[in-house]
Chain A
Amino acid sequence: MRLSILGVLLPALVLAACATDRQTPTEASENGRRAPSAVASLTAPVDGSDAGYARADEVVELSFPMDHGPHPDFQTEWWYLTANLETTDGRRYGLQWTIFRRALRPSQPFRDSSWATRQVYLGHFAITDVERGRQHSFERLARGAVGLAGSELEAGGPLRVWLEDWSLTSSEKGTASFPWTLRANGLGDSGGEPTISAEIDVRPSKPLVLQGDRGLSRKNSMAGGASYYYSFTRLAARGVLRIGDRHESVTGTAWLDREWSTSVLAPDQTGWDWFSLQLDDGRDLMVYRLRLEGGGIDQASSGALVGPSGEKTPLAVDDFTLGVLERWTSPKGTTYPIAWRLQLPKQGLDLEIRAVVADQELDVAFRYWEGAVDVTGIGSESGRGYVELVGYGD
């Protein structure tokens, strides 16, 4: 499900980015900028109306590989990749790479200028350096025009999703065929932030999984409150990270989420906790818990357990319990949970999940926590994963 609220809030993010001048840490503004006020209202539909867009309101047969490509008639869409990586001598890194697409209008009037577009792209890139206990995050924003940013896939051709020189591209042969290569970088600054870049190839180790009901994933009880959602829950990752002067060859496991929708969150939903866990026994677990005003849990919260060969067991809200073990307050003053106990009684799973580094709050215009975690269970149920926490601050 991943950051669907973030998707809804993309216009606000555009504003926030405009107003905060935080393209990278280097470019942090010299003078204090106004706070992105619009971001505060997590639940309000920021856009005046979402009428006119295509909607995820029925089960359709998703078709691959073409559905890897963009769905411009929907309001929001993202390509979301997380990975736990390691060097041969055991240094560990977390990686998050996301490109969001957001349409500002359901249709585009004819324009002469090729700069004119209704599509805006937002990118987030973060590397967690576990050994040093730090996370480095970067943000970019550009219009989907004149080649500055975009997404494309034609039959017989490669998949290309890019934002300036950040990109996710498939192999040149065939239609969106693997490996897919992710590229991103972020500038360092004089304050000791290192310059970072990543070039990682990913290949699925399991077939893709259609989340929800054959890919239609409900987010609330409202009509159209759903998205089309599929995941590659386990991909083999291999590539190079550069962090300052260090060049690291890394391998590991990645998770790719794809989602597109025109959904608006229900007014009483305040945020969510989202888990993508890869267990050593070959199973992958995704759950999300939608939090309601007043501390309740939305009945639309759900998940899926994916077996070693890709077989999916859907999880409903009653199929799992989640308890917080530990909390951490960020330098910006937001308190996040950073350790949990996740229980799936039917599957007999009892997992303890802990952030590998407490401070994995993204230093971007709209703050959220997204970070690498360790999973310890009984026996071979240990593993690694990524957790996303939204709606705790501001």
Chain B
Amino acid sequence: MTRILRRTFLRHLLRHPWQTGLTGLGVALAVSIVVGIDLANASAERAFDLAIEAVAGRTTHEVIGGPDGLNESLYTELRSSGEPWARRSAPVVEGRISIGDARRSLRLLGLDPFAEPALRDLGADVFSVDDGALGDLLVEPRTVALAASLADELGVDVGDSLEVTTANGTAVVRLVSRIRPRDELARRAARDLLVADVATAQELLGQVGRLDRIDLRLVDGEADAIRSWLSERSGSVEGIEIRPVAARSGALDQMTRAFRLNLEALSLLALLVGVFLVHNTLTFSVVRRRPLLGRLRALGVQRRELLSLVLLEGAVLGGIATAVGLVLGLVLAEGLLGLVVRTINDLYFAVEVQNVSIDLRALAKGGLLGVGGSLLAALAPAREATTSPPRWALLRSQFEQRTLRSAPRLAAAGLLLCLLASALLAWPSRSLPIAFAAIFVFVLGFAGLVPAATVAASHLATPLMGRGAGLVGQKILGRMAARGVAGSLSRTGVAMAALTLAVATTLGVQVMILSFRATLVDWLETTLQADVYVAAQLRSGGPAQTLGAHWTRVVSDLPGVESVVSQYRTQALVQRADGTLDPIPARLAATRVDRRGFDIFRILEGDERGLYEQFASGHGVLVSEPFAYHRDLGVGDTIRLMADDGVGDFPILAVYSDYATDRGIVTFHRDHFEQHFRVAGERNHSLGLFLASDRNIDDFVDDLERRLEEVHSDRPNHEPLPRVVANAELKRLSLEIFDRTFAITGVLRLLAIGVAFLGVLSALMALQLERARELGVLRATGLTPGQVWGLVTLQTGVMGSIAGLLSLPLGAALAALLVHVINKRSFGWTLAYQLPPMALVQALGLALVAALLAGLYPAWKMSRSSPALALREE
């Protein structure tokens, strides 16, 4: 009996392949988004950690200094100290390097072949080359070793030259050895590495005399021994610390957590739409089989059996869809990975990720969410199928009545959920998960309001539609179309909720991005006030290059230049209150700016009177809003940084607005900065030029470029010709980067629209197909095929319009939450909320078009079917 029942039920799914297929596809797509995002995130993180792990080798600790690294003599002293740990130390010079057109971002690792074997297999492998190559690496300038796989990828062989770009400029290096690391870990790490001798790395990176760190392999207690050895060194004024290597590996995870959480939440929102779809499909399948269910009950089938049957149906549908979703997710992850990595590279850290690593946890999570969500969605229809008494079950009208009556109750529950969401948001917390939870609760609550709102809207629409259709002499048809929406609420309700939710999500995300962009544009106006900028490079990504001091002089001497704002960037480690080091280094900017240029800082907190004087005289620093927010700091607090002259406390004078990085920036006046940090050769990353008001900018740019080329041709070195960019162009470039980093969000939004679209298509199609009999009656009573077509189209149009209208307040509210709560908590940014009318119109249009498209096939089919056939009972 049970087997027959089971087969009867499952066959039902096959009887309606279109509906089942579309629902399944919707769920599969939703699951694939969740899995794709998870896999892409996990892959980026794993690649980052692996790179650190493999390069660390057997290293347990590292000796580090301020932003300018360590004086190389420290290594010689340490090595000659006669201490036992000295034998297990190795110098490291490390930096970003890009090859060719900067598409490939790699790390240059400068190592000492004689120290490597004690610490790293990778290093030992690199230098286990034949004698000639070793001589080349040690003696000849600009010689490097590459992993064989990377060399193949780049199409270079031993002896070939490669053009590389580092922070120090462009150079041509020669490949003298191909590395073939023996173990898999080292092989993976080597894929993104250029290895050279310490000398070569120092020269290429412009770090002559300095080491980035000294790696150590220590046993218990030796870290303290080194600490005391360091403190006993005479004449040491540098800030030098020793820390475990493990402290580094969590950095990417921490830095990008908010970014990844946002992506994840977006993907979950898409899944929520998917769950609504399953719910809709199953509700629908239950509703349309009410007669069958009634008969089964009358025949004595137990409630429990029916319950499990419906749940089984949900599980099978959800299970198959989820399985497809997992496979799709793997494919999607390949595409998303590039976007995720690009954003991470633009905003956070250079990490090269080649392929998606199959993370079982991500797959399990996707599977669980897909099947679990489907079961959850099946729960209500399953109960519905079993709770109604057999006789009732046979009566459609009864059921519709009951659904109508339950709408207000559902609405009340929805309101309650909305209140709960408000309470969660009002909770004084900076927790991002709580904020996302509140959003989900809010969305669910709003979905609960949809049926009631639909009824109300359809009542409102009925006379309107009647009048509208009356103009073409089809008054009745118009009224029928509008009333039908409320009349078949059991089937339209969930579809409407899904459509509303999907459209609102896309609206919310879009409005958030637009608000962000508008805020950024506004901020760029303030912060990019100089007329012309000169920089070593324009694009972000790749190693950050600097300009030598002579360029500053060349530029300042040009006629028409009134003042110059210079900026140098670096990063330093922050000491926490408990004395440990924050694994994420703080970004520092050293700027030389006069009073006029100081206006580029939009002060959010702090007294602006006398601020410039205090800043210029080195009384303290300015911090950007995200920096203050994340570390819960304000004016008057101090930051403890590992400077080049030791650990120092720097008071915060003011908090200013900045959208360049969510990691936050600490800005020093250049003079103040140089008291505590070393800047080799007075270098700068960029110069902003304020021109005299009578100077024509285009003419000036021409003069400037000519002058720079003159100077450049007089100095034949590897330093590239500085780039000149006028104010407007720089703004355009900034927005380009913004758009690029939001590309992934845009893609997710499109995918969410896809899910929603599939959902609406399946729901409405089913709805109309199910009405075949009703329409048959109408045909029999004289409706022409054209009129049937019109009726169906009108009705889906009404539904689309109502859902579209409902999505507007939800979308606007979602956007407000994303802008004011999520962005603030994720990135520490205050954004100005903007609701452009165009976005609202688009959302409405989207809902309408989706609904109308969904109605096309049923309308066509209905209008063509013969009334007699439609009237025949199944």
Q: Which residues of A contact B (CB under 8 A)?
A: 11-12, 14-15, 17-24, 26-27, 29, 31, 33-34, 38, 46-48, 104-105, 108-109, 111-118, 120, 141-143, 145-148, 164-165, 185, 187
Beyond A11-B131, A108-B139, whether A114 also contacts B118 by CB under 8 A is no
CA distance A187 to B118 in the complex (A): 14
Flag whether B141 is at the interface (Cβ < 8 A): yes
Give A23 to B202 CA distance when docked, in angstroms: 26
In chain B, what residue has the closest Cβ to A188? B84
Q: Flag if B76 contacts A116 (CB, 8 Å).
A: no
Query: Is B139 in contact with A18, judged by CB distance below 8 angstroms?
Result: no
Expressed in whole angstroms, the Cα–Cα distance for A1 and B72 within the complex equals 37
A19, B138: Cα distance in complex, Å:
17
In the assembled complex, B341 has its CB within 8 A of some CB on chain A: no
CB within 8 A of A11: which of B88, B112, B134, B140? Answer: B134
B209 near A: Cβ within 8 Å?
A: yes
* Min C-beta distance of A228 to chain B, whole Å: 24
- For B84, the chain A residues whose CB sits under 8 A away are 26, 187
A165 to B124, CA, bound (A): 23
Main DSSP-derived SS at the B contact region: helix
Interface of A is mostly: loop
B230 CB → nearest A CB, Å: 18
Residues in B neighbouring A114, C-beta threshold 8 A: 72, 199, 208-209
Q: Are the CB atoms of B124 and A113 closer together than 8 Å?
A: no
Q: How far is the CA of A218 from the CA of B112 in the complex (A)?
A: 36
Q: Using an 8 Å CB-CB cutoff, how does the interface string of B124-144 with A read, 1 for contact, 0 for none?
A: 100111111011001111000
| Residue pair B141, A111 in contact (C-beta under 8 Å) | yes
CB distance from B54 to the nearest CB of A (A): 15
The verdict on A115 contacting B72 (CB below 8 Å), with A11-B134, A27-B88, A164-B80 known, is: yes
Determine the residue in chain B with the shortest Cβ distance to A30. B58
How would residues 207 to 218 of chain B score, 1 for a CB under 8 Å from any chain A CB and 0 otherwise? 011000000000
Q: Is the CB of A23 within 8 A of B139?
A: no
Give 13 new A-B contacts, CB below 8 A, not counting A14-B131, A21-B118: A15-B131, A18-B128, A19-B124, A27-B88, A38-B130, A113-B198, A114-B199, A116-B138, A116-B141, A116-B200, A118-B138, A142-B79, A148-B75
Contact partner, A165, options B82, B134, B197, Cβ 8 Å? B82
Contacts of A33 in B (CB 8 A): 124
- List 7 A-B pairs, minimum CB-CB distance, nearest first: A115-B199, A21-B117, A116-B199, A113-B199, A11-B131, A104-B135, A113-B202
Q: Across the interface, which residues of A come within 8 angstroms of B203, CB to CB?
A: 111-113, 116
CB atoms of B197 and A115 under 8 A apart: yes
**In angstroms, how far is the closest chain A Cβ from the Cβ of B758?**
54
Q: Which residues of B pack against A, CB within 8 Å?
A: 72-73, 75-76, 79-82, 84, 86-88, 112-114, 116-118, 121, 124, 127-132, 134-135, 138-141, 197-200, 202-203, 208-209
Residues of A within 8 A of B200 (CB): 113, 116
Contact B117 A187 (CB under 8 A): no
Q: Are B79 and A148 in contact (CB under 8 A)?
A: yes
Contact of A143 among B112, B128, B209 (CB under 8 A): B112
A96–B72 Cα distance when bound, in Å, is 32
Q: Across the two chains, which residue of chain B brings its CB closest to A104?
A: B135
A185 with B82: CB separation less than 8 A? yes
* A18→B127 contact, CB < 8 A: yes
A18 to B128, CA, bound (A): 6
Contact A48 B73 (CB under 8 A): no
Complex Cα distance A47/B130, Å? 9
A17 to chain B, nearest CB (A): 7
For B131, the chain A residues whose CB sits under 8 A away are 11-12, 14-15, 38, 46-48, 104
Q: Which residues of the partner chain B approach A117 to less than 8 Å between Cβ atoms?
A: 138-139, 199
A386 to B130, CA, bound (A): 33
Are B117 and A29 touching (Cβ within 8 A)? yes
Can you list 18 A-B pairs, Cβ within 8 angstroms, ordered by A? A15-B127, A15-B128, A18-B114, A19-B124, A21-B124, A23-B87, A27-B87, A104-B139, A108-B139, A112-B203, A114-B199, A114-B209, A115-B202, A116-B138, A117-B138, A120-B138, A145-B199, A165-B81
Min CB distance, B351 to chain A, in Å?
A: 28
For residue A25, give the distance in angstroms from its CB to the closest CB of chain B. Answer: 11
Residues of A with C-beta under 8 A to B134: 11, 14-15, 104
- Measured between alpha carbons, how far is A269 from B139 in the docked complex, in Å? 30
In the bound complex, what is the Cα–Cα distance between A113 and B141 (angstroms)?
Answer: 10
- Min CB distance, A251 to chain B, in Å? 24
CB neighbours of A118 from chain B (8 A): 135, 138-139
A20–B116 CA distance with the chains assembled, in angstroms: 11
CB distance from A376 to the nearest CB of B (A): 40
Please determine whether A14 and B113 come into contact, CB atoms closer than 8 angstroms: yes
Bound-state Cα–Cα, A18 to B197, Å:
14
Chain B residue with minimal CB distance to A163? B80
List chain B residues, Cβ under 8 A from A164: 79-80, 86
Taking CB atoms, residues of chain A closer than 8 Å to B130 are 15, 38
Contact at B82–A26, with CB atoms within 8 Å? no
* A22 / chain B contacts, CB cutoff of 8 Å: 117
Within the assembled complex, what's the spacing in Å between the Cα atoms of A104 and B121? Answer: 23
A11-B198 contact in complex given A20-B117, A111-B203, C-beta closer than 8 Å: no
Cβ–Cβ contact A23 & B118, under 8 A? yes
Known contacts A11-B131, A113-B199, A116-B199, A18 near B138 by CB under 8 Å: no
Contact of A142 among B73, B114, B132, B141 (CB under 8 A): B114
* Residue from A26, A109, A113, A147 whose CB has the most chain B CB atoms within 10 Å: A113
Contact: B76 with A146, CB < 8 Å? yes
Q: How far is the CB of A329 from chain B (nearest CB, A)?
A: 29
Q: Would you call B208 and A113 a contact (CB within 8 A)?
A: yes
The answer to whether A17 touches B75, judged by C-beta atoms less than 8 angstroms apart, is no
Tell me, in angstroms, the Cα distance from A31 to B57 when the chains sit together. 13
Q: Are B76 and A109 neighbours in the complex by a CB distance under 8 Å? A: no
Using A109-B139, A115-B198, A146-B73 as known contacts, say yes or no to A26 and B87 having CB atoms under 8 A apart.
yes
Contact of B73 among A29, A46, A120, A147 (CB under 8 A): A147
